[in-house]
Structure 1
Amino acid sequence: MIYLQKIKNCLRGANLVHTFMKSLVSERKIPGGVLIIQQQHTRIMTQSFGAYSAANLSTQQITTNTLFDLASLTKVVATLPATLLLLSRNAIKLTDTVQTFLPDFKYPTVNIQHLLQHSSGLVADLDPPVKRHHQRDIMGEVLSAGVITQPGKQVLYSDLSMILLGKIIEEVSGQSLDYFVDREIAKPWGMHDTQYKLSKEQQMQAASTEKIESKFVQGIVHDEKALLLQEVSGSAGLFSCAEDLATFAQYWLGITQQSVIPFDWMTLAYTNIIENRGLGFEVWNGSDVLKCFGRGWTKGSFGHTGFTGTSIWMDPVKKAFVILLTNAVHYGRDRGFMEIREKIHTMIFEELIT
């Protein structure tokens, strides 16, 4: 009887989540998306919703195979594991300074751990903001950007920190960031639809992001800085699908084993914390309000978001995760998606996670 009741509760919860996602599409809060919920080895939900306008203005249905511009999820799906791999090989150390690898960087005390934890003191973004068709030396501007707090003392989320980290990976490995991530992380982990710079054919499988002038951006990076960095950046530029990110989450939670990065290093990424930041990940520290990830999740749960409407959230105690991929910017920026994420994650935890 208890087992049957659990099944009924799960079905009821899944129906509530499904209905809510469908309502977001019908109310044009999002054009669509893909949602995966899993706990331990049990897949609770895999569902796609909605459609989008392609670059040629045709309407395309979103499926579980649709590729999404991950935006800032790139920071933890590409740059973080690449950095941990180099750390595990003793090619770099957390205490190594940025200047060790990038002598043109102005601040001698900023180190790799500061970059990972967003505690470098670097400004959040370039000023003036980068526009899509600007001609600017992004790397030069990042290297000369200002520090506004003392390194290691305060978390200030900064794209610039992860751009620098991506460049350090290139300097240390002697390879381009996209090649290193593909060869050393994505392919060994079986994430075969995760990459920078999509081919023309792959671009047609990607959900369009924002409409620029008269044409939707499809399969080309949405982030303006990454675009000017030849579409490859430590901060943004990666494309992936929901199943690849589910594979990614299972490795971080130890649900599925892997031999690329020692698990101790992966655990350190969400346990070595300053304020609400681990090494790359945002971490629920039990006191601060997380505006994106909802209420009720276990202290120490961790994840990240992407500006286009993507997120991944993992609970290391419950061994549960949520992958939510949308192209919310399809209808424009600043449409309150942060609050929508919070409601989705709260609903999922309350209704479906045991």
Structure 2
Amino acid sequence: MGDGQERLADYLNRRVADGWATGFSVAVTDESAIRLRAEVGGTAAALGGEERPIDARTLFNVGSVTKPVTGTLLAKLVEEGEATLSDKVRSIIPEYPFEDTEVFHLLAHTAGYDPANVPVERPLRAKGEEGQRAYLSSLYGIRERISPVGETARYFTEGYSIVMDLIERVAGCDLESFARETLLRPLGMDDSTFDPAKLDPSRVVFPVDGAGRALLELADWGVTGDSGLYTHADDLLKLGRLFLSGGCAADGRVVLRERTIAFLLADASGGRLNQTPAFWVKGAEDRYGCFGDLHSPSAVGHTGFSGCMLWIDPACRAAGAILTNSMTLHGDWRRYKRINNRLLSLFEHEQPR
């Protein structure tokens, strides 16, 4: 890496001074390796309450950046002929209340739910399998929808926990085990986990809300498919390289078929929603408002409430990870856009001429 790393660190330190976050871990990779990275700042949002610096080993709760990972796990079942996006959810989960909801409706947030009226509590890991089933049963107890299925996109995060249940029933094992076997271990994402019980307390930091409160209660949650992944930039960009390399891990093994990668990167909504089976698509207008102006229209990605973003831009042959624990940063998505513009300009500067 050239002077881009120093320039990136300087840029991020200025964002810390602006109050966007108290620390950042940011990196960009091509299909082979990380070419640009910086870690700056620190946080006291840890279980012990001690101030700790952000470094390359810091584990973040990446919020809804979890969703593309869950979508990728579902795509593995599609590849194996065990599921399709058009499957009726009830055909796999008999207690699901609606006959007309298809799997893609959950992925695209078009199942008709009212996100403002979700009377369910997150599962606590102390309650084990019983608590997990109670959580899902409460979701299946929601019997009202505010729009016809497939008509309107309303962000219903719990839909991905329903997808988690679907994956577990089809795969015959829990989400963490299926992810470990089919994705995390083959890619070498050894530090990443859906299970808070597996976290090293000395390395994990938790999201901080706008009032400065650390959400330490997340450590007590059970596994969820919508916002429960803990990871760092190095691991997350191993997933990014999977998409840039056509489905292969660093050792050359095929993790996903090339057609499956194309399936995951392609808009599955006919251009109506800018939504693939796992990601948002920037498109011509960036309707989500988080992609950089310098990203190509084919860029895909997702943000997380904790101030995180993963993006993949096949046209630029690059993938990037922005990791913080700042809900303040997430409060204005133009901040992602500005950071991404700087990442893309510095990444281009780092490329061999």
TM-score of the two chains, using structure 2 as the length reference? 0.84
CA distance in 2 between partners of 1:213 and 1:353 (Å): 37
CA distance in 1 between partners of 2:339 and 2:209 (Å): 26
Written as runs of structure 1 = structure 2, the 5 A alignment for 1:205-224 is 205-210=203-208, 216-218=214-216, 221=218
Whether 1:257 and 2:248 are equivalent positions in the alignment is yes
Amino acid at match of 2:175: L
Any idea what SS the aligned residue of 1:314 has? Answer: strand
Match of 1:294 among 286, 292, 297: 292
Match of residue 105 from structure 1: 96
* Same amino acid, percent of matched pairs: 21
Whether 1:344 and 2:342 are equivalent positions in the alignment is no
CA distance in 1 between partners of 2:315 and 2:146 (Å): 36
Written as runs of structure 1 = structure 2, the 5 A alignment for 1:22-37 is 22-37=13-28
CA distance in 2 between partners of 1:113 and 1:256 (Å): 22
Match of residue 273 from structure 1: 268
Amino acid at match of 1:61: P
- Tell me which moved more, 282-291 or 96-105: 282-291
Match of 2:226 among 217, 235, 241: 235
CA 1:348 to 1:46, structure 2 compared with 1: closer, same or farther past 3 Å?
A: closer
Match of residue 326 from structure 2: 328
Amino acid at match of 2:207: T
Amino acid at match of 2:305: F
Amino acid at match of 1:140: S
CA 1:200 to 1:260, structure 2 compared with 1: closer, same or farther past 3 Å?
A: closer
CA 1:175 to 1:82, structure 2 compared with 1: closer, same or farther past 3 Å?
A: same
TM-score of the two chains, using structure 1 as the length reference? 0.84
Please, which runs of 5 or more residues in structure 2 have no aligned partner?
Answer: none
CA distance in 2 between partners of 1:202 and 1:126 (Å): 35
Contact 1:123–1:156 at 8 Å: present in 2 too?
A: yes
- Tell me which moved more, 21-30 or 252-261: 252-261
Any idea what SS the aligned residue of 1:103 has? Answer: coil
- Tell me which moved more, 160-169 or 20-29: 20-29
Written as runs of structure 1 = structure 2, the 5 A alignment for 1:57-136 is 57-77=49-69, 79-124=70-115, 126-127=117-118
The Cα of 1:176 is off from its aligned counterpart by 1.3
The Cα of 1:140 is off from its aligned counterpart by 2.6
Amino acid at match of 1:167: D
CA 1:101 to 1:304, structure 2 compared with 1: closer, same or farther past 3 Å?
A: same
Whether 1:283 and 2:275 are equivalent positions in the alignment is no
Match of residue 144 from structure 1: 141
CA distance in 2 between partners of 1:286 and 1:335 (Å): 23
CA distance in 2 between partners of 1:85 and 1:132 (Å): 26
CA distance in 2 between partners of 1:187 and 1:16 (Å): 34
- Tell me which moved more, 176-185 or 236-245: 176-185
Match of 1:187 among 172, 185, 188: 185
Please, which runs of 5 or more residues in structure 1 have no aligned partner?
Answer: 1-6
- Tell me the matched-pair count: 333
The Cα of 1:47 is off from its aligned counterpart by 1.1
Any idea what SS the aligned residue of 2:218 has? Answer: coil
CA 1:31 to 1:255, structure 2 compared with 1: closer, same or farther past 3 Å?
A: farther
Amino acid at match of 2:348: I
CA 1:34 to 1:335, structure 2 compared with 1: closer, same or farther past 3 Å?
A: closer
